Amino acid sequence: MADPKFNVSVSTLEIDHMNNSVDMELPSLFVPTPATESENESSSESQHESGHAKTMRNDGELETDKAATSAATPAPSAPAFDLVEAAEALLADAKKLKATIDIKLTPRPSSPESANHAPLPPSPEEIALRQRIANLGKKIAFETAPPMDSLKSDWVTIADVAAWNIFLHWRAFDHIPLTGSISIADLARAIDADESLVSRIACMLISTGKLIGSRLSGEGEQGPPTHVSHSHISRLLRTNTSPATAALAIVSFGNGMKGFAKWPEYFSTYDRQEPHPTDKEILVHDSNSIVVTTKRRCVQGGINKSYTPTPFSLGWGHPALAPWEVKARYPEYARHFEMAMGAKSKGALGGDLGVGGYRGINSKYPARKFTLEWLAEAAMQKLELYDFLGDVKKYSKPLVVDVGGGLGHFLANLLAKIPEVNPEHCILQDRPEVIAQVAKNIEGGDEKLKGVRTMAHDFFQPQPEEAKGAAVYVVRRVLLDYCDEQAVWILKQLRCALGNFGRIVIMEGVLLDKPTPENRLVDMVMMNLGGKLRNEEGYRKLCKEAGLTVTGYWVDVEGASCVVECVKDGTDGSEKDGTDGSEE
């Protein structure tokens, strides 16, 4: 608990004396004692009496802000932060982590497994402990640092991100050896850049600890580093040894930073509204300085649902194209994007999701687990039907259609987990260039999708005959790229393709009840792409508007992902498939 003698209430004037800085009120670091609370109360009372907020001017004088006060509503009091309590919790966790590491470093009794002394990977408990320590450390820094320092640290991050992004782009991290160092001169030669330029960018990364700088003995201790080596973070940005993580970093910059930097221009051009399809005609310049129009109408007339102007497209210099059309113009970026998707597939939304059993909890019936195992039975029934008709072509309805399925990570996993499903009864749909890549992969010997029917199909358009009536349409990580209007449109196309007993299974990220900064980041990146993260209510609303009945909603809070299972209104997708009935 906090030591009462440390209870302090620091006024803005005191700060000015202590710090000689301006415009900042330091947060109280300790839970206030009753005495401090009453002091606060009386000062807020006097503020209410005068009716005006007081702020500190740059010259340190208090100033009354009449305009701000008239529009302002009273601020809710911030939750109390107790520095001593937080520091003690941090110390306790630090000791636990040290003990964990000490145990790992203790030589193991010789056994065949320990013969090569490979370091033990961190356990989930160790990872959770490290995350708790890091979060507490961040919280303490945030609560204790003078506010101006916190702001400056954000500005440093801007330069830090720019520096690692360009090094990633130039594959500079690949040339830094995993052990030992490289001279900045050699690094500059390897990436064909000026040594002075490379030195300045490397020094930015050295200043934030992303790289480690050194000078050789004999070079003296004074002066900028002449050599660089990897930190535990920068080694993850090597495209040659950590391709998936490097791809995620490339995509986080391309999907995030490029669009973020264009927000002022975007919202002044398209009004201060969430991205949505519009028939507003705006003439803009594309990256080739050609004047293009953002008004792209459907042939049937009305607003083109498949196009929303987005900060992403503006950031990439192609304002009249949809994000996927932009990506198609940058095959190298698209390749990294697919690789990043593959890496994510191993996470919460990937691998086992819905195949071997999703870990998520059903929001209404906790005992009801989500699974796609029922497809095994459906596959057998289908085979019987083929035998009965004696001709596969007479009954060509597919079993699974993976809509916007990318390189088929989900489908490959499904086929591996449910061997009863014949790949020939599965359809993988995506944009033409993605399907061409899948075909190449299969031709190149990728066994995982062998036999699967690949189909270039635009999910804004009605499903073709051969893809209608499937047992399940999978829509994974697709709807979050779109605003509500477009997401409903996509679902409506699938509703029209559904038979009486087919289902749509939506698998997406979720906006948490208490969103973490990372969760909010995903939502902001989705805004760049013209989409959004949704919660249960948001997904149910989409389904309702598309004429679908939700038969199950499962959420994996830990992974911030969800599964929504739905059927066409007025039908019951679960009646014939052995699950325990509809929920609604």
Ligand X SMILES: C[S@@+](CC[C@H](N)C(=O)[O-])C[C@H]1O[C@@H](n2cnc3c(N)ncnc32)[C@H](O)[C@@H]1O
Using the minimum distance from each CB to ligand X, give the nearer residue, 167 or 324: 324
Burial 202-238 (b: 16+ CB within 10 A, else e): bbbbbebebbbbeeeeeeeeeeebebbbbeeebbbbb
CA atoms within 13 A on the CB side of 462: 7
**Stretch of 218-226, 287-295, 429-437, 519-527 lying at the interface with ligand X (CB under 6 A):** 429-437
Among 286, 458, 485, 536, binds ligand X (CB under 6 A): 458
Among 318, 336, 477, 540, binds ligand X (CB under 6 A): 477
Site string for ligand X, 378-417 (x = CB under 6 A): --------------------------xxx--xx-------
Min dist. Cβ of residue 417 to ligand X (A): 16
Min dist. Cβ of residue 408 to ligand X (A): 8
Burial of residue 336 (number of CB atoms within 10 Å: 0-12, 13-18, 19+): buried
Among 165, 345, 454, 571, binds ligand X (CB under 6 A): 345
Position with the least CB separation from ligand X: 406
Site string for ligand X, 324-343 (x = CB under 6 A): x----------------x--
Residue 475 DSSP class: E
| Of the candidates 50, 56, 52, the residue with the CA atom closest to the CA atom of residue 10 | 56
Most distant pair of Cα atoms in the chain: their distance: 91
Among 164, 266, 307, 459, binds ligand X (CB under 6 A): 459
Strands (E) located in 207-280: 211-214, 227-230
**Stretch of 140-148, 310-318, 457-465, 563-571 lying at the interface with ligand X (CB under 6 A):** 457-465
**Interface residues for ligand X in 80-109 (CB under 6 A)?**
none
Alpha carbon distance 117, 61 (integer Å): 64
Min dist. Cβ of residue 223 to ligand X (A): 47
Using the minimum distance from each CB to ligand X, give the nearer residue, 213 or 404: 404
Using the minimum distance from each CB to ligand X, give the nearer residue, 177 or 347: 347
Strands (E) located in 361-467: 361-362, 400-402, 426-430, 453-456
Walk across the sheet containing 211-214 and list its strands: 182-183, 227-230, 211-214
**Stretch of 153-161, 198-206, 228-236, 470-478 lying at the interface with ligand X (CB under 6 A):** 470-478
**Stretch of 32-40, 286-294, 472-480, 522-530 lying at the interface with ligand X (CB under 6 A):** 472-480
Using the minimum distance from each CB to ligand X, give the nearer residue, 56 or 555: 555
Using the minimum distance from each CB to ligand X, give the nearer residue, 253 or 460: 460
Among 199, 412, 430, 546, binds ligand X (CB under 6 A): 430
Alpha carbon distance 337, 322 (integer Å): 16
Using the minimum distance from each CB to ligand X, give the nearer residue, 430 or 556: 430
Using the minimum distance from each CB to ligand X, give the nearer residue, 108 or 440: 440
Min dist. Cβ of residue 413 to ligand X (A): 10
Site string for ligand X, 288-327 (x = CB under 6 A): ------------------------------------x---
Q: Residues in contact with ligand X, total (CB under 6 A)?
A: 17
Using the minimum distance from each CB to ligand X, give the nearer residue, 86 or 340: 340
Min dist. Cβ of residue 292 to ligand X (A): 20
Min dist. Cβ of residue 350 to ligand X (A): 8
186 binds ligand X (CB under 6 A): no
Min dist. Cβ of residue 437 to ligand X (A): 10
Among 175, 262, 305, 431, binds ligand X (CB under 6 A): 431
β-pair type (426-430, 503-509)? unpaired
Among 434, 442, 472, 526, binds ligand X (CB under 6 A): 434
DSSP string, 320-388: TS-HHHHHHT-HHHHHHHHHHHHHHHTSTTSTTTTTT----EESS-TT-----THHHHHHHHHHHHHHH
Alpha carbon distance 564, 505 (integer Å): 6
CA atoms within 13 A on the CB side of 104: 13
**Stretch of 42-50, 106-114, 458-466, 562-570 lying at the interface with ligand X (CB under 6 A):** 458-466
- Helices and strands (H, E) in the chain, number of each type: 21, 15
460 binds ligand X (CB under 6 A): yes
Using the minimum distance from each CB to ligand X, give the nearer residue, 175 or 534: 534
Alpha carbon distance 584, 582 (integer Å): 6
**Interface residues for ligand X in 269-288 (CB under 6 A)?**
none
476 binds ligand X (CB under 6 A): yes
Min dist. Cβ of residue 211 to ligand X (A): 32
- For residues 212 and 229, the answer to whether their CB atoms sit within 8 Å is yes
Give me the helices (H) in 81-182, please.
Answer: 83-105, 124-144, 147-169, 172-175
Site string for ligand X, 348-377 (x = CB under 6 A): ------------------------------
| Of the candidates 88, 210, 83, 206, the residue with the CA atom closest to the CA atom of residue 145 | 83
β-pair type (426-430, 453-456)? parallel
CA atoms within 13 A on the CB side of 328: 14
Using the minimum distance from each CB to ligand X, give the nearer residue, 239 or 306: 306
The letter for the amino acid at 170 is W
Min dist. Cβ of residue 337 to ligand X (A): 8
Burial of residue 537 (number of CB atoms within 10 Å: 0-12, 13-18, 19+): exposed
- For residues 453 and 398, the answer to whether their CB atoms sit within 8 Å is yes
Q: Which residues bind ligand X (CB under 6 A)?
A: 324, 341, 345, 404-406, 409-410, 430-431, 434, 458-460, 476-478
